[in-house]
Amino acid sequence: MGNDNASGLIAIDKIGGKVIFIDPASCATIGVLDDFERNPHELLIIHETQTAYVPIFGNGVHGRNPKPGHLLSVVSLKTRTHSGDVDLSPLVAPHGLRLAPDGMIYLTCENSGVVAIVDHRRCEVVGTIETGSTNAHRLALAPDGRTLYTENEEDASISVLDLPTRKLVRQVATLHPLAGIAISPDGKLVVVVSDSEPVLFFIDTASHELVRTVALEGATVPAQIARFSPDGRVLLVTSVRGGTATLIDPPFGRQLTVPVGKQPMDGTFHDGKLFVACQGDGSIHVIDVAERHWLRSFAAGTGCETLGFF
């Protein structure tokens, strides 16, 4: 998410089980909400309604989640309060989510093997789409809003979902188990992150064929999350095991890897800077995107996974 007129920064403290409000100028924590079930993971901000949605994944992690959650928590950005919850039952283990042009929130419910369709104005589930996998963890939405892609971690596949018909139309096999997914802002490429080797796979969205494999330079362990900048000029790849953030310039030639904190996860672009959350040590790192260098870090919570400006 990149909002250059932001009034605030929100961080999802997965390890601490909290939602944190941060002043974007001073980077000081200015508010903490701690009345969530365990554990909040991801984040969707709807700027039109000044509302944030936070899935409650459960008390574990992907693949080891003994008490999967069933709530999509709602946070008012105007009042900075936990304003309610959407009960997804019987669906469980909600994780990745996106708002589509049709006004619906699409949300992976991992253990249930579906993507839930949530009407955020009515605060209720209005449908589901089968993913063909109980390993569908993260997702990517095509810019035209017609196609959704889920990365199915251990299955080593991508599910292709058609939103107008709400159907699974294809599963694309990948060479390795997966850890992350992103789609280019022009909608032409889906990028998936190998969970076995430090490489990325590029899938053409027209043919659904693997068109390129890119090695992460100097990396010895697999990466985790991929995210494009809103203008598509930078691809961020974080390595939770390597403690690094790699910035790659399309057409995916030049790479620069920046050491950050322990267990970096997701990041967000804002005002020429990249903010990377590190769940292993409670730090957030700030990188100058144009100059490609580390600027500073600051503390936020116990261990944040996801960030967004509003």
pLDDT digits (tens, 9 = 90+) for 236-291: 999 999 999 999 998 888 999 999 999 999 999 999 999 999 999 999 999 999 99
Q: Rounded distance, CA 11 to CA 225, Å?
A: 16
Maximum alpha-carbon separation in the chain: 48
Helix or strand holding residue 178 (H, E): strand 178-183
What is the pLDDT confidence band of residue 160, given thresholds at 50, 70 and 90?
very high
pTM for the whole thing?
A: 0.96
Under 8 Å CB-to-CB from 253, ≥6 apart: which residues?
none
Separation of alpha carbons 301 and 310, rounded Å? 19
What is the band of 158 on the pLDDT scale with cuts at 50, 70, 90? very high
Residues 6+ apart with CB under 8 A from 13: 19, 20, 40, 300, 301, 302, 303, 304, 305
Residue in 72, 68, 60, 52 with CA at minimum distance from that of residue 9? 52
* Over residues 36-42, mean pLDDT: 96
Distance CA(236)–CA(226), nearest Å, equals 6
pLDDT of residue 65: 80
For range 92-100, the mean pLDDT: 98
Q: What are the structural domains of the chain?
A: 35-172 (2.130.10.10)
Does residue 2 carry a pLDDT above 90? no
Q: By percentage, how much of the chain surpasses pLDDT 90?
A: 94
- Return the pLDDT at 264: 98
Residue 269, amino acid: F
Between residues 110 and 66, the one the model is more confident about:
110
Does residue 7 surpass a pLDDT of 90? no
| Residue 302 confidence (pLDDT) | 98
Average pLDDT of the chain is 96
Q: Decide which of 267 and 66 is more confident.
A: 267
Q: Shortest CA distance to 48 belongs to which of 124, 120, 97, 141?
A: 120
